């Protein structure tokens, strides 16, 4: 995807470490970080310099391969990386893909690269299938950042938007700011500007108002984990958008690769919800008139905060799940159908499934 007109990935391997765009600096500036050992990989995930469920999986996969290259104890490296964030399932799928290739460092690196490439292919396929939801001028509401900063090269929820824009359909995006870390206002808006997609940032509390007034044609979000019944965990605030969309007959779709679907859990009630530091709620960060990055407190001294990072949208509120094998119902049967299509596609002479479930 585009950074200042140039194609660029957000995470990439080199012999001196794993390079990444530090998302904490965006949109003010583009900073490239380098993680040279497992601890630096883990810390980059924990402080959200690298974020987005599928991208965390890619970064952790490279981090585990880096541990082998550096001669680190692999069990300890796996434990450290797997403990960084509890909600995103892709963290474990990336680690396990590389652990299956242990202990040969070269084979483990090849496995990490293959996992990365497979994720890119899945994201582009999500874009292709999701494109069927768009007509000329479709007005789509997003929440958080589910673009190429979160999912290498294409994104999930933004992949159909990019496909629609490149097809000349001129989509318009309402970018929900996404308090408390403002991933929508800071990251999604930055991506869309770089790609030349028409958009406007809105306060989180304005979403239901716009849906009620008929100004939103489609709500499209990503997911950090999807249960076997179709319940989906995503950034806090997603559930309220789903409720508003359901109340006013607006389609609400979740875009997620199969690697985000956790068939080992029955419902969303089993998904662990990360609690993040209260300072994310008590303060805000931005640039002052001189361009300096500053953090300021917005609450009275001594005030406490509660900061759940995710919520769960029940499957009954989800119109469908856009996956790399097509759009399927948000149900146990729909999830099973998606995995059946994926299995069929990998058999000799197999073909991918249809677009709609």
Is 173:142 a contact under the CB 8 Å cutoff?
Answer: yes
Strands 6-7, 2-3: pairing is antiparallel
Q: Indicate the burial class of 113 (C-beta count within 10 angstroms; 0-12, 13-18, 19 or more).
A: middle
Q: Give the count of beta carbons closer than 10 Å to the beta carbon of residue 345.
A: 13
Separation of first and last alpha carbons in the chain: 29
Query: % helix / strand / coil in the chain, to the nearest 5?
Result: 40, 20, 40
Q: Given 22, 116, 204, 224, which residue is catalytic? A: 224
224 catalytic residue (yes or no): yes
Phi, psi values for residue 28, rounded to 5°: -65, -40
- Tell me how far apart the alpha carbons of residues 44 and 46 are, in angstroms, rounded to a whole number: 6
| CA atoms of 349 and 357, how far apart (whole Å) | 22
Q: Which residues are catalytic?
A: 224
């Amino acid at each position: 995807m585009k950074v200042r007109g140039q194609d660029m990935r957000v995470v990439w391997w080199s012999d001196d470490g794993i390079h990444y765009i530090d998302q904490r600096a965006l949109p003010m500036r583009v900073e490239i970080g380098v993680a040279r050992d497992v601890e630096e990989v883990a810390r980059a995930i924990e402080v959200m310099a690298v974020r987005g469920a599928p991208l965390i999986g890619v970064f952790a996969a490279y981090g585990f391969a880096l541990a082998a290259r550096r001669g680190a104890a692999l069990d300890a490296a796996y434990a450290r990386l797997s403990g960084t964030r509890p909600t995103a399932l892709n963290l474990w799928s990336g680690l396990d893909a590389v652990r299956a290739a242990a202990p040969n460092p070269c084979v483990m690196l090849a496995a990490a690269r293959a996992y990365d490439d497979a994720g890119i292919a899945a994201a582009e396929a999500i874009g292709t299938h999701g494109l069927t939801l768009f007509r000329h001028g479709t007005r789509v509401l997003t929440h958080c950042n589910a673009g190429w900063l979160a999912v290498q090269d294409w994104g999930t929820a933004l992949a159909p938007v990019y496909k629609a824009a490149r097809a000349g359909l001129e989509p318009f995006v309402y970018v929900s700011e996404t308090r408390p870390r403002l991933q929508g206002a800071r990251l999604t808006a930055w991506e869309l500007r770089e790609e030349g997609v028409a958009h406007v940032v809105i306060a989180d509390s304005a979403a239901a108002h716009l849906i009620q007034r008929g100004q939103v044609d489609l709500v499209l979000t990503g997911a950090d984990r999807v249960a076997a019944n179709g319940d989906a965990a995503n950034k806090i605030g997603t559930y309220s958008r789903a409720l508003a969309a359901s109340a006013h007959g607006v389609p609400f779709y979740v875009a997620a690769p199969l690697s985000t679907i956790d068939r080992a859990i029955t419902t969303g009630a089993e998904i662990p919800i990360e609690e993040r530091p209260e300072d994310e709620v008590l303060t805000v960060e931005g640039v002052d008139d001189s361009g300096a990055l500053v953090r300021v407190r917005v609450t009275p001294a001594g005030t406490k905060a509660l900061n759940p990072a995710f919520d769960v949208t029940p499957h009954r509120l989800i119109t469908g799940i856009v996956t790399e094998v097509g759009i399927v119902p948000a149900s146990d049967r729909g999830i099973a159908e998606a995995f059946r299509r994926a299995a069929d596609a990998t058999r000799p002479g197999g073909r991918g499934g249809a677009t709609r479930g």
